[in-house]
Every structure is written in structure tokens, then in C-alpha cells.
Amino acid sequence: MDAHKVSELKAFVTSCRSDPSILHHPSLAFFRDYLQSLGARLPPQAMSKNPMKGENDDDMTKAAPDSVDKKPYQKPEDAAIEDEIIESDIELDGELVEPDNGPPQKMGDPSTEVSEESRDVAQMCKTKAMNAISDLVEPKFSYFICHESVFVKLRKPNAAIRDSDAALQINPDSAKGYKYRGMAKAMLGQWEEAASDLHVASKLDYDEEINSVLKKVEPNAHKIEEHRRKYERLRKEREAQKIERERQRQRAEANAVYERGKNESTSENKAFDAEPKDPDSLAALQDGSVISIHSSNELQTKMTAAVRLSRLVILYFTATWCGPCRFMAPIYKALAEKHRNIVFLKVDIDELGNDAHRWNVNSVPTFFFVKDGKEVDKVVGADKSGLEQKIAMHAAKP
């Protein structure tokens, strides 16, 4: 190596020893990743002054108090939910090797027809190769050698994986293919994949070498699996907390609407104030929008909420294959946005056939007008004017 570069490296290592916080500089992220891949433990980031800080960093630090964005106050538990889950490092055992990124070795064409002459030539080449290999490995292994094992012993895992893949394409039940691919993946730190290949190899043709490697690979694979399950569980718990918080927010909004309704006495809101106020029922209904129903229980829940609030309900039976229904869909949505005190429900007859039968739906689209849980009127067909007139008539009734 270049003597000057070596001296620079020594100086850098000396600086790291005197101030380990240097390693946390953003520009050295690649170096931290490399150290951790070797199993190194880095010291926690300290608040000490970083000697690698640029000239402009001090100016930015001085200006920071005036430039910090003021965020709205959050409860500690809310802030904890919003924080991203940061996974801890896994302490794994085992020595890794640098990936070999050289060009792939040449392989034969599997579609080529093998002749006696080519077989003899191949045998001669194999003999020469075996003699050459015997100089690289212990003599007792020379009779059991194959491409993949050579690459593993030469610590060229990517080459071993390529050869193993090729062997497994020719013979999917090759124990050696799985064995050496598993050993190569273990060299690269791909512990779970390595364990999987080695288990398959052991089932096909067990030997002590596979068992020995598995004893080193399996603990790391188990640690990774446990780590993944732990954080999957944490993410699910975090998601459940978010859903619960959203539900509480919606309920709080419904309560706010309820409290406003009690205090408003203008003529514009008299009809609305006359409704029995029920936060749960208000939360179940989506004022100003069309509610798609997907179960009989859901339909009953919406109907019950409407009865409690003395709301008029329009129950629209439709189907995805119905052309007139597609014509009426945007009209129905616009009417829902206009008449916010009316409950607009939508049911697909193919999804809820029993409910369609219970309401005696003979064609679609059909619009039922329901008050206090009872049908009071209906419109059959894509009759925009008729639907608007019925809405105006029934909305005016107390």
C-alpha cells in the first residue's frame, strides 16, 4: 500500500481514539456500516465538539435558536406514538468475508449434446484440475472436491453461490448444491437463507460438516427471526394505538358537535337542534357523504342511529353491472353533500342479496325513503327529477 495513505489512516485512527464521536459524522456513515458488519460496537453519540465540523456549522448553530420551527404541543403519549420505531442492532456471531465481485466463471452450455470425445477431454481437464487443487487444499479433501467447495475454500462466496445455483437448476435434489450455497451465504452474513439451504442439504444427504456449520448459523438465524417478530409486534401495537386515538378523536368531534348543538338557538339550526343528540349515533353517520353498506349488521346499525337522531334515510340499492346505476351514482353523491341532515345509504344487491330480498327489490336502481325505521316512499329507476322531488317533500316534513 501507499505509505502516505497508510500514515493518513494511522492519523485518522488516532483521532478516533481521542474523540470517538468522529465516527458519528454523517460523512462516515459508510465506515460505520462496515465496522458494524464486522461485529464492532460503536460508542454512543456524545454531545462533544466534532473536529470534523465544517466552517459553516458554527454559523448554523448560532442561527439555530431563531430558525427552529415551533411545533404544536403534543401530549407525551401522542408524541411517542408518532415517533418512528428505531430498531436496535442485533449482536451476531461469526466471521464474515468481503463479497467477491469479480467476473463470473465460465460455465458449460447445458443444452450441448455430450459425445464420447468431449467426455474424454472433460475427464482429462478434470484430472489436471484435481492435481492443481491438491496444492491448494489438504490432500484428504482432493477426492471430494467440486466447484462450489473450491470457491468456499477460496473464500469467494458469490462465485460459490453462482455455481450452486447452476447445479441446482440441473439437479434440484443436489445436496452439495444446497450445502455449499448455504455455507457461502453464511460467509456473507445471510444467516436465514444459509440456515434454510443447510437444512435442505441435511435432509438430502446428512454429513458432519453440515451439522457443524448449522450450529454456527442457526443461533444467528434465530436471533434475526426473534428480532423481526419483536418489531413486527411493536409496529402492530403502534398501529392499534393510532387507530384507537383516531377513534377517540372522532368521538371527541362528535361530542363537540353535540355540545355546539345544545348551545345554538338560531332559526337556521332549530330543526337540527330538535334532534335527540347522541354522540355515538352522530359518529356512526357521515354527514354529507354516501355510506356504503357491506353487511346486514352495518345496515341495522346505521338505521338505528338514524332513528335515534330522527333522521330521514334514503336506502339506495344498486349493482356494479347496472348502467342506470352508474348514471345515478354522481347525482346521489351530490344530493348527499347538499342535504347533510339526511342519511344516504348504498347497498350492492350482489353483495347483500338477502337484504335486497327483504326489501323486495325487483330492479335497480331503487331508492327507499325510510323514517323511524319504516318505509314511507320509494323511487324506482334512474329518475333524477323524481328523486329530487321526493327528497324535497320528505325533508320538509317534521
Q: Which residue type is seen at 278?
A: D
Q: Is 187 helix (H, G, I), strand (E, B) or coil?
A: helix
Angle at 375 between CA 370 and CA 378, to 5 degrees: 85
Provide long-range contacts, Cβ within 8 A and 24+ apart, for 360-365. 361/317, 364/317, 364/318, 364/319, 364/322, 364/324, 364/325, 365/316, 365/317, 365/318, 365/322, 365/324, 365/325, 365/328
Beta bridge partners of 290: 344
Q: Which residue type is seen at 165?
A: D
The CA–CA distances, whole Å, from 210 to 143, 186, 191, 200 equal: 18, 12, 14, 10
Cβ proximity of 210 and 183 under 8 Å: no
Active site residue 146: no
Is the backbone peptide bond immediately before 365 cis, with ω within 30 degrees of 0?
yes
| Catalytic-labelled residue, pool 16, 125, 146, 325 | 325
- Residue 160 neighbours by CB under 8 Å, 6+ apart: 147, 148, 149, 151, 152, 180, 181, 183, 184
Active site residue 325: yes
| Catalytic-labelled residue, pool 16, 125, 146, 322 | 322
Q: What residues act catalytically?
A: 322, 325
